[in-house]
Structure 1
Amino acid sequence: MRKSRLIAGIVTALMTAGAVTACSSGGGSGDDADTLTFMFRGGEDEKAAYQDAIDRFTEDTGVKVKVIVTDADQYATKLQAAVAGNKVPDVFYVEQGSLQSYVSSGVLMDITDQVAAQGVDLANIWEYGVNSYRYDGTLQGTADGQLYALPKDVGPMALGYNKTMLEEAGVELPDPDEPLTREAWLDILKKVTQDTDGDGELDQWGTGLNVSWTLQSFVWSNGGDWTNADRTQVTVDTPEFAEALQFFADLTTKEKVTPDPEQAQTLDTYQRFMAGEIAFFPVGPWDVSTYNELEFEYDLMPWPTGKSGEPATYIGSLGIGVSSSTAKPEEAVKLATYLSTDETAQQTLVDANIQIPNRIDTAEEWAAAPDAEPANRQEFLDIVESYGRAMPAAFTFSPAWYDELFVNIQPVIDGDRAAADYLAEVQPRMQELLDQANEQAEQAAAAGAAG
């Protein structure tokens, strides 16, 4: 399943944070001093699109580039091996959760001045994407930090819906601009959860969400969060968080608008959405090329709102960084800048339906295209511009504190334990792990400053 592989890649990437502690030297361009190396991960569509963009870069600049591509689940391991062997690629993908460790260990070059010298208009690149790779030695993701990578992409997680199913059920289609309340959304989920063939068993459901990848929306829109603003205190043991988690669990156990665990094992909910059996399901930009070939019409909508009255969801991202040990720093920064910000390069990647444009002007044209699929592409941009957030562990030195929430959450999802009781128990364990992550960050920064 494509989405499972992508999610597994993201989890693997986050787990690499904190793994690099030794300073890096050597490596760079490898055996051929006249050729840059660029290492990234992706499938055949992404590989082909990047090769086209790189061929154009070579034609324009005369700089040759050797491409090293891996599967998503192999990338972190192979990059770590390259770092350990002092064979760091000149240019490579950087996960948000790995940035601090790579900066502290001296693997990544500070490219702030070089990007400015190239005259790149960062104001025309999504602020979230740029700031994701800024780090001031204490906090990552703020506008004040030095720039250690440029965004490869931004990945807003939108909520999609089966337009055909809703129309056949006589349900009014969601407004593309005004979000539904959580209660109004639940009413629709109940209406479309049906036994369509009359055999006494449900075969069509309102939704089917994975707690690890969609709980964020419910919590944030309900006024809850995982930590305080400076990421020093875990804040999951609150009424707002508990209410959101309980609502999520109740979708299955009380409201019965999702496939039950046994049904989910037979066919997971991603596959059920693809088969036209589920009405509402998350959609990322990487899904578009596949979803556009579905046998039913689908579109995007704002996420439903909780107590805050505002929708919420997360934005993923990958960065493109430059090795501090590259023998060709000027050319390496040019390549990173080209892939992230050049208009023609961006169009090549967008045409492959693997991401939304990094350039704001290009993205606005893309969203407004009369033949846009899905029609409400603008929802992706609305998330990036207004209501999307980084995943809770994206800007901490280690994700272990965040992962702890999900280790023993299943009894809550199964209806065997109250959300509030579980959160009161798990918060101290999460706090201990967050304290450890912050201590690791301080130690790594001190070691990096010492040489």
Structure 2
Amino acid sequence: MKKSRLIAGTVAGLLLAATAACSSGGGSGDADTLTYMFRGGDDEKAAYQAAINRFTEDTGVKVNVIVTDADQYGTKLQAAVSGKNVPDVFYVEQGSLQSYVKSGILLDITDKINEAGVDLTNIWEYGVNSYRFDGKVQGTSAGALYALPKDIGPFAMGYNRTMLEKAGIELPDEDEPWGWDHWVSVMKELTTDTDGDGEIDQWGTGLNIAWNSQGFIWSNGADFTDPTHTKVTVDTPEFAEALQFFADLTNVDKVTPNSEQAATLDTYQRFMAGQIAFFPVGPWDMSVYNELDFEYDLMPFPAGSTGKSATWLGSLGIGVSASSKNVDAAVKLAAYLSTDEDAQKTLVDANIQIPNRIDTADAWAAEEPRKPQNRQEFLDIAKDYGRAMPAAFTYNTAWYDEFYTNIQPVLDGNQTAAEYLAEVQPRMQALLDESIVASEQAG
């Protein structure tokens, strides 16, 4: 989840098409060997291999590891499903859980986890509940458990500490969020031509609409749906104000690279090159960002009209195939990777996630030396102000994807946010209605 900035579209539709193949197929490998499929870079692969080697030493169960890039994972998993070769243990996204369950791909592991005595109260409640589903509602404590959290992913606002100190700007408070106006004023000060060639080469920020807009919308008192996830609510003044603010960062405030500059080098790369002051950071970035040539740190997300920070809190799950030939060992592997103290230490020490175990999180945030210095911000998001992505707990993402399909005129300054939202809400509602019907039919 680095350069691609979490590229990982849902495979829900593909999985439904392969329901028959999955339901009649057997698990991959044999009863003495498990297959574990996940996605990640070299650092994540090395950390998981080390943890799995220890699992094999402790249990005698061999594990065949299959790792893909983030943008290839859905396609390769679908190929495995279609070929009746579903991995015994594999990553599952929040937004795909319902279709995995209703198509018979995922095993209900509730009883086996209870019988094993796994202490789920020591794992982030949000992470555990993300993979509970009662047939209608996902994300509450009432549903059956279909996966364990591989992690939770708090998406914090990061900043180039070295750049701010060099400019003589007071560093952000670790607890009190900046308001939008103050944040923009600082970014304007930092957007400049540093080498005197007449071209801007340092910017305040550079945000991706699909991954970075949610926090601004929530912080302004708006949301994508009502609490039941059945009614789209984007056409409100609060939502329009937040979306317009996001677009104006480029077109009015001019604190971001323009489209031509962004096409030359994306803003993720520009942040790592020291050219951008503020950029969202996830725990998965730490293994790379901790080696940057400048100091970076974390701050509360800038706050809109509510005065409160908001951002999203993601998660990936580790699920077990319903067709595994060695269900007991597969559940044991999922539980080991999600909850075992030694396994968690291996993964956390690799700087690819925050601790899953609550009893070690505070010590991790406070340990010295540490990068970033304000690791506590990740925990604040996990405990206080992080939210699930809008489509995390709906049957599919088509309704949510529609929001971004024709949004470019707003980002280019050729259409107001209010005009766009009035147009897109009916389309989003129609797709959400279809999603609800599809869920009922699948059930």
TM-score range, shorter-chain basis?
over 0.9
Partner in structure 2 of residue 215 of structure 1: 213
Cα contact 2:56–2:62 (8 A) shared by 1: yes
Partner in structure 1 of residue 346 of structure 2: 348
* 3-state DSSP of counterpart to 1:7: coil
CA distance in 2, matches of 1:164, 1:75: 36
Partner in structure 2 of residue 336 of structure 1: 334
CA 3–51 in structure 1, closer or farther in 2 if over 3 Å, else same: closer
Partner in structure 2 of residue 169 of structure 1: 167
Q: For structure 1, which segment, 38-47 or 96-105, has the greater mean C-alpha deviation from structure 2 after superposition? A: 38-47
Partner in structure 1 of residue 101 of structure 2: 103
Q: Which amino acid aligns with 1:123?
A: T
Cα contact 2:123–2:357 (8 A) shared by 1: yes
CA distance in 2, matches of 1:78, 1:399: 20
CA distance in 2, matches of 1:419, 1:235: 14
* 3-state DSSP of counterpart to 1:344: helix
Cα contact 1:35–1:65 (8 A) shared by 2: yes
**How many residue pairs are counted as aligned between the two chains?**
442
Cα contact 1:13–1:76 (8 A) shared by 2: yes
Using the TM superposition, give the Cα deviation of residue 243 of structure 1 relative to its aligned residue in structure 2, in angstroms. Answer: 0.2
* 3-state DSSP of counterpart to 2:198: coil
Cα contact 1:208–1:281 (8 A) shared by 2: yes
Partner in structure 2 of residue 245 of structure 1: 243
Partner in structure 2 of residue 448 of structure 1: none
Q: Which amino acid aligns with 1:292?
A: N
Q: For structure 1, which segment, 290-299 or 199-208, has the greater mean C-alpha deviation from structure 2 after superposition? A: 199-208
In structure 1, stretches of 5+ residues that fail to align are 446-451
CA 42–14 in structure 1, closer or farther in 2 if over 3 Å, else same: farther
Using the TM superposition, give the Cα deviation of residue 25 of structure 1 relative to its aligned residue in structure 2, in angstroms. Answer: 3.2
Q: Deviations over 1:53-108 (max 9, x none)?
A: 11111111122222222222222122122222222121111111111011111111
Q: Deviations over 1:284-308 (max 9, x none)?
A: 1111111111111110000011111
CA 325–18 in structure 1, closer or farther in 2 if over 3 Å, else same: closer
In the alignment, is residue 186 of structure 1 matched against residue 219 of structure 2? no
Matches within 5 A, 1:302-317: 302-317=300-315
* 3-state DSSP of counterpart to 1:57: helix
CA distance in 2, matches of 1:317, 1:17: 20
CA distance in 1, matches of 2:86, 2:266: 39
Q: Which amino acid aligns with 1:137?
A: G
Cα contact 2:16–2:103 (8 A) shared by 1: no
Partner in structure 1 of residue 229 of structure 2: 231
CA distance in 2, matches of 1:29, 1:214: 38
In the alignment, is residue 384 of structure 1 matched against residue 379 of structure 2? no
Matches within 5 A, 1:11-30: 11=9, 18-22=16-20, 24-30=23-29
CA distance in 2, matches of 1:203, 1:84: 48
Cα contact 1:21–1:444 (8 A) shared by 2: no
Q: Deviations over 1:138-195 (max 9, x none)?
A: 1111111110000011111111001111111111000111111111111111111122
Matches within 5 A, 1:4-153: 4-8=3-7, 10-11=8-9, 18-22=16-20, 24-30=23-29, 32-153=30-151
In the alignment, is residue 265 of structure 1 matched against residue 263 of structure 2? yes
Q: Deviations over 1:331-390 (max 9, x none)?
A: 111111001000000011111111111111222221111111000111111111111111
Cα contact 1:154–1:316 (8 A) shared by 2: yes
Partner in structure 1 of residue 158 of structure 2: 160
Cα contact 1:17–1:397 (8 A) shared by 2: no
Q: Deviations over 1:400-431 (max 9, x none)?
A: 11111111111111111110000000100111
Cα contact 1:15–1:399 (8 A) shared by 2: no
* Structural RMSD (CA): 1.5
Using the TM superposition, give the Cα deviation of residue 26 of structure 1 relative to its aligned residue in structure 2, in angstroms. Answer: 3.4
- TM-score of the superposition, structure 1-length normalised? 0.95
CA distance in 1, matches of 2:409, 2:15: 29
* 3-state DSSP of counterpart to 1:11: coil
CA distance in 1, matches of 2:273, 2:79: 40
In the alignment, is residue 300 of structure 1 matched against residue 298 of structure 2? yes
Cα contact 1:26–1:86 (8 A) shared by 2: yes
Cα contact 1:221–1:312 (8 A) shared by 2: yes
Cα contact 2:15–2:81 (8 A) shared by 1: no
Partner in structure 2 of residue 372 of structure 1: 370
Partner in structure 1 of residue 440 of structure 2: 442
- TM-score of the superposition, structure 2-length normalised? 0.96
CA distance in 1, matches of 2:226, 2:393: 13
Q: Which amino acid aligns with 1:47?
A: K
CA distance in 2, matches of 1:215, 1:17: 29
Cα contact 1:6–1:72 (8 A) shared by 2: no
Which of 244, 247, 252 in structure 2 is aligned with 1:254? Answer: 252
* 3-state DSSP of counterpart to 1:24: helix
Q: Which amino acid aligns with 2:410?
A: V
Cα contact 1:292–1:374 (8 A) shared by 2: yes
Cα contact 1:24–1:83 (8 A) shared by 2: no
Cα contact 1:134–1:144 (8 A) shared by 2: yes
In structure 2, stretches of 5+ residues that fail to align are none
* 3-state DSSP of counterpart to 1:5: coil
